[in-house]
Copies of this chain bind each other. A is one copy, B any other.
Amino acid sequence: MKIIGALALAAMAATVSLPASAQFAKAEDAIKYRQGALTVLGSHFGRVGAMANGKAAFDAKSAQESAEIVAFMAKLPWAAFAAGTEGGKAKPEIWKEQAKFQDLAKKSEEATAKLAEASKSGNLDQIKAAFGPAANSCKSCHDAFRNR
């Protein structure tokens, strides 16, 4: 399996013109990177969610700060799911259904960008309205592509 992974990675490096952002020396590095990015994303998303769901006091500045971090982080993980980086909690389906995966990733970027935009209003109702679709965009991708 490791040999196949290495060959896939070598083939990718040799034949595909990827942006530098998609390049990792080892599959393990890509896995650590995407898990790290999603951990940071999830932490801040949870903080916004706690406020949106009334489980934490609403603090407009903190909500905006976290929502902007979420939107920034939501752009990062996808390039780290390149061919040859199978592993971690990622289901093999990611590499078999690339179009669907990329579509869901893009929807997450869009939904979290809207959440960040809403957070600038300082209005909890606007944040709540944008939080639901963002949470659903995470869930759709996790349901399809993440092992529990």
Contacts and interface: CB of A to CB of B under 8 A. Distances in A.
So how many copies of this chain end up in the complex?
2
Nearest to A61: B19
Contacts of A59: 20
Interface in A55-88: 56, 59, 62, 65-66, 69, 72, 76
Interface residues of A: mostly helix, strand, loop or mixed?
A: helix
Given A20-B56, A21-B65, A62-B20, A33 B40 contact: yes
A40 B40 contact: yes
28 contacts: A19-B62, A19-B65, A20-B56, A20-B59, A20-B62, A20-B65, A20-B66, A21-B47, A21-B62, A21-B65, A23-B47, A24-B43, A29-B43, A32-B39, A33-B39, A33-B40, A33-B43, A35-B36, A36-B36, A36-B37, A36-B38, A36-B39, A36-B40, A37-B40, A40-B40, A40-B76, A69-B76, A72-B72
